[in-house]
Amino acid sequence: MALESKLKDNSTRMNKLYRFGMGLDMKNNSDGLVSRLFGNLVSSMRKFLFRILSVGPIPNHLAFILDGNRRYAKKWNLQEETGYKCGFWALMPMLKYCYELGVTYVTIYAFSIDNFKRGPKEVQCLMGLMQEKIEGLLEEESIVHQFGVRVHFIGNLKLLPESVKVGAEKVMKATANNNKKVLLICVAYTSTDEIVHAAQESCQRKWDEIREMKPGGGAHSFEISNESQEEEERRFIKLVDLEQCIYMGVAPDPDILFRTAGETRLSNFLLWQTPTCLLYSPGVLFPEIGLRHLVWAVLNFQRAYSYVEKKKKQL
Amino acid sequence: MLSLPFSCPPPKNTLSPFQKKPFSPSSSSVTCDRAIGKRNKSNSYLSISLPKLSKVLVSEASNAMPGDEEKEISAGTMDSPEEVELPAGLRRELMPNHVAVIMDGNRRWALERGLPVEQGHRAGGQAMTELTRLCSKWGVKVLTVFAFSTENWIRPKEEVDFLMMLFEEVTKTFSEEGARLNFRLSVIGDKSKLPKSLNQILARAEQALKANSGLHAVIALNYSGRYDILQVCQKVANHVKDGLIQPEDITQSMFEEQLETTGTKYPNPDLLIRTSGEHRISNFMLWQLAYTELYFVEKMFPDFGETDLIEALSSFQQRQRRYGGYKYSTSTN
């Protein structure tokens, strides 16, 4: 009974904090005026800080590996599901900070194809949570409406349960006309799967092009360019063909890749897109991530900016 | 500035040039902003604290001066890895099979000392030789070094020419010692742009050491991760064009068979070490690094010595590799 009560208290506290962080519930709060004033003060200080940061270059695209939710739950003797919820509650303010700062694209690694290896109960719990939160994106007070965010779900969506897939497609359709900010949610995603899919897709397109050019002809005939046969064979697929078919082709390469919980590995996330990306791996668990981590990462990005831009041009 | 109310230590800045965390004898900096090192079941997040190493030999690489002759690889018969005692704190069963290194910082090392850039590269060559010897001694099976990237052609011509000449020298030395030390050698990258003389020397060395069974040294020359992936895409696309396979037949395993690293027994690195404090992959082995543990060192590569390698290996051995699953495992690939 004591544990249940503690869990409920924690859950309620988390929920309150989330809503406070998002500027919600001000009207209904019994201390509405004080909360509102305090919230406005904090918000103004934050915006002032972002103005100072904006003197230097601001990253255009941030990517997050949301690691540490289960460890957070274990640390505070919570259920794993609560750990994931805490991760989500920490994510929303972080998205808000990113968009307020001027970041246009934010990518999050919500669920890897490798995560299907976890226990069925955990996977089911995660899918349930994902469905709930996906539906929440269309609510009036969500960050999507607040910042005009277009949402993309990136990954092999065929692997998802039908209800989650339908929800994701609904959100993508509903936000298709938003053009201020972009949120890319990687689900049922791994980078190696993405690359293989891009290779398949680009080959299929080339194959279809060839068949269209010579509908009655042999499968091997194609228009010979001025290049030699050998060169042409070498370039059946070009870099541009691959990049057109890659899932993440809707966004530029990320500038900073965050991975929380102190792990320094990519875990098959955005391998193609991060050749020059700054990797930042604070020891904090994802539900504990805060504004200071974002600020610190941006400062380091600004420090290395000219070097990275030079490298990007060489690519 | 809202965040969840549970207190946690302020973020450690390892990217700042002003904050260094003293380590064992060599005073190297913290590798990255992580609070692991003594990860235990209660998940207490302590700052990195490696066990004291009682048998650490201080590296000579940081004391390399211009005009010093290249360090000779130790003569005599190499003990098999099973017989060699590991430094204190390292466990044989947790040694990574494949270590990859981005050898960054040679030029900055030289400029910091008022030396010509070429001296920095020579010092880097010495450090690489020592690194190869140590990896072989401690049972690492594959060592891949990022010697020259596709982006490095943009450097001044004199520097590029010097590097090509240095690669020829190092390859010749490696080839001479390789038979005795039981090394093998492979080269990955687009060799078509390398000088003909270098290609000939590399081919001869690869052939001469082909039958050896010890450490497999892989030199990445004119290599990039994107180039590697693209060349695989082009190969499989040609199979599709020739009607050998359908697009939907392209699989991840087919891809992996075509990557440049496929010739090694352990194609994917377990541990990547990058020197000079840069926290990025720099277009190195993008596909192969999917699950690799990354280790960043503030030191420039010529200063990276035995102590630093021990710290890197120790850090690796304390990590838990889950590959996206739930089961905690400390085993390597």
- pLDDT-based confidence at residue B320 (cuts at 50, 70, 90): confident
Task: Report yes or no on A75 lying in a domain.
Answer: yes
Q: What is the pLDDT of residue B329?
A: 41
Which residues of A belong to the active site? 67
* A65-93 average pLDDT score: 93
- pLDDT-based confidence at residue B63 (cuts at 50, 70, 90): very low
Q: Among B172, B1, B289, which residue's Cα sits nearest to residue A101?
A: B1
Q: What is the pLDDT of residue B19?
A: 40
Using an 8 Å CB-CB cutoff, list chain A residues near B296: 264, 279
Question: Which of A42, A220, A268 comes nearest B290 by C-beta?
Answer: A268
Residue B332 pLDDT exceeds 50 = no
HEC letters along chain B: CCCCCCCCCCCCCCCCCCCCCCCCCCCCCCCCCCCCCCCCCCCCCCCCCCCCCCCCCCCCHHHCCCCCCCCCCCCCCCCCCCCCCCCCCCCHHHCCCEEEEECCCHHHHHHHCCCCHHHHHHHHHHHHHHHHHHHHHCCCCEEEEEEEEHHHHHCCHHHHHHHHHHHHHHHHHHHHHHHHHCCEEEEECCHHHCCHHHHHHHHHHHHHCCCCCCCEEEEEEEECHHHHHHHHHHHHHHHHHCCCCCHHHCCHHHHHHHCHHHHCCCCCCCEEEECCCCCCCCCCCCCCCCCCEEEECCCCHHHCCHHHHHHHHHHHHCCCCCCCCCCCCCCCC
Q: What is the pLDDT of residue A71?
A: 94
Please tell me which residue of chain B has the smallest CA distance to A86.
Answer: B4
Query: A39 to chain B nearest CA, in Å?
Result: 9
Please tell me which residue of chain A has the smallest CA distance to B32.
Answer: A281
Q: Among B219, B284, B23, B207, which residue's Cα sits nearest to residue A277?
A: B284
- pLDDT-based confidence at residue A209 (cuts at 50, 70, 90): confident
Task: Report yes or no on A166 lying in a domain.
Answer: yes
Residue B140 pLDDT exceeds 50 = yes
The pLDDT tens digits of the residues spanning B98-136 come to: 999 999 999 999 999 999 999 999 999 999 999 999 999
Query: A48 to chain B nearest CA, in Å?
Result: 12
The proportion of chain A whose per-residue pLDDT surpasses 70, expressed as a percent, equals 81
Please tell me which residue of chain A has the smallest CA distance to B38.
Answer: A262
In whole angstroms, give the CA distance from residue B199 to residue B189: 11
Residue A57 pLDDT exceeds 70 = yes
Question: Which of B4, B154, B250 comes nearest A86 by C-beta?
Answer: B4
- pLDDT-based confidence at residue B85 (cuts at 50, 70, 90): confident
Set B33, B68, B79, B104: catalytic member: B104
Residue A8 pLDDT exceeds 50 = no
The CATH number that applies at residue A180 is 3.40.1180.10
* A98-110 average pLDDT score: 97
Residue A203 CB contacts under 8 Å (≥ 6 apart), including other chains: A237, B236, B237, B240, B247, B250
* B132-141 average pLDDT score: 94
Domain count of the fold of chain A: 1
* B52-64 average pLDDT score: 40
Q: What is the pLDDT of residue A31?
A: 59
Q: CB–CB of B173/B179 below 8 Å?
A: no
The pLDDT tens digits of the residues spanning A135-193 come to: 888 887 788 999 999 999 999 999 999 999 999 999 999 999 999 999 999 999 999 99
Using an 8 Å CB-CB cutoff, list chain A residues near B225: 271, 275
- Amino acid present at B54: S
Task: Report yes or no on A2 lying in a domain.
Answer: no
pLDDT mean across residues, chain A = 85
**Contact with chain A for residue B233, Cβ under 8 A:** yes
Contact B243 A265 (CB under 8 A): no
Q: What is the pLDDT of residue B30?
A: 37
Q: Is A61 helix (H, G, I), strand (E, B) or coil?
A: strand
Contact B4 A196 (CB under 8 A): no
ipTM entry: 0.83
Q: What is the pLDDT of residue A254?
A: 96
- pLDDT-based confidence at residue B89 (cuts at 50, 70, 90): confident
pTM for this model (two decimals) = 0.80
Task: Report yes or no on A143 lying in a domain.
Answer: yes
The pLDDT tens digits of the residues spanning B306-319 come to: 999 999 999 999 98
Q: CB–CB of B93/B138 below 8 Å?
A: no
Q: What is the pLDDT of residue B184?
A: 93
Q: CB–CB of B32/B58 below 8 Å?
A: no
Residue A269 pLDDT exceeds 50 = yes
Task: Report yes or no on A182 lying in a domain.
Answer: yes
Q: What is the pLDDT of residue A280?
A: 95
Higher pLDDT, B330 or B145: B145
Q: What is the pLDDT of residue A106?
A: 98
Residue A216 pLDDT exceeds 60 = no
Higher pLDDT, A38 or B116: B116
Lowest-confidence pick of A56-70, A101-115, B9-23, B287-301: B9-23
Q: CB–CB of B90/B326 below 8 Å?
A: no
- pLDDT-based confidence at residue B31 (cuts at 50, 70, 90): very low
Higher pLDDT, B221 or A239: B221
Residue B3 pLDDT exceeds 60 = no
Using an 8 Å CB-CB cutoff, list chain A residues near B102: none
**Alpha carbon separation from A276 to A256, A273, A304, A315 (Å, rounded):** 9, 8, 11, 9
* B154-171 average pLDDT score: 93
Token code pair at residue A305: 């900016």
Higher pLDDT, B84 or B168: B168
Using an 8 Å CB-CB cutoff, list chain A residues near B329: none
Task: Report yes or no on A13 lying in a domain.
Answer: no
In whole angstroms, give the CA distance from residue A7 to residue B235: 55
CA atoms within 13 A on the CB side of A64: 28
**Contact with chain A for residue B154, Cβ under 8 A:** yes
Contact A283 B293 (CB under 8 A): no
End-to-end CA distance of chain A: 60
Interface subset of B 36-55, CB within 8 angstroms of A: 36, 43, 45
Tell me the residue range of the domain where A243 lies.
59-211+238-314
Q: What is the pLDDT of residue A233?
A: 52
Please tell me which residue of chain A has the smallest CA distance to B296.
Answer: A264
pLDDT mean across residues, chain B = 78
Q: What is the pLDDT of residue A129?
A: 92
In whole angstroms, give the CA distance from residue A115 to residue B23: 36
Q: What is the pLDDT of residue A236?
A: 73
Contact B34 A263 (CB under 8 A): yes
Task: Report yes or no on A226 lying in a domain.
Answer: no
Contact A280 B33 (CB under 8 A): yes
In whole angstroms, give the CA distance from residue B101 to residue B295: 10
Strand-strand pairing, B142-149 and A181-189 = unpaired
Q: What is the pLDDT of residue B242?
A: 87
Size of interface A-B (CB pairs under 8 A): 222
Question: Which of A190, A201, A283 comes nearest B33 by C-beta?
Answer: A283
Higher pLDDT, A32 or A98: A98
Task: Determine the length of chain A.
Answer: 315
Question: Which of A74, A283, A308 comes nearest B35 by C-beta?
Answer: A283
Token code pair at residue B99: 């270590």
Higher pLDDT, B238 or B54: B238
Higher pLDDT, A293 or B7: A293
The proportion of chain B whose per-residue pLDDT surpasses 90, expressed as a percent, equals 60
Contact B255 A192 (CB under 8 A): yes
Residue carrying structure tokens 């030999």: B57
CB atoms within 10 A of CB A173: 10
Q: Is A238 helix (H, G, I), strand (E, B) or coil?
A: coil
HEC letters along B151-205: HHHHCCHHHHHHHHHHHHHHHHHHHHHHHHHCCEEEEECCHHHCCHHHHHHHHHH
In whole angstroms, give the CA distance from residue B288 to residue B73: 30
Task: Report yes or no on A115 lying in a domain.
Answer: yes
- pLDDT-based confidence at residue A235 (cuts at 50, 70, 90): low
In whole angstroms, give the CA distance from residue A96 to residue A106: 10
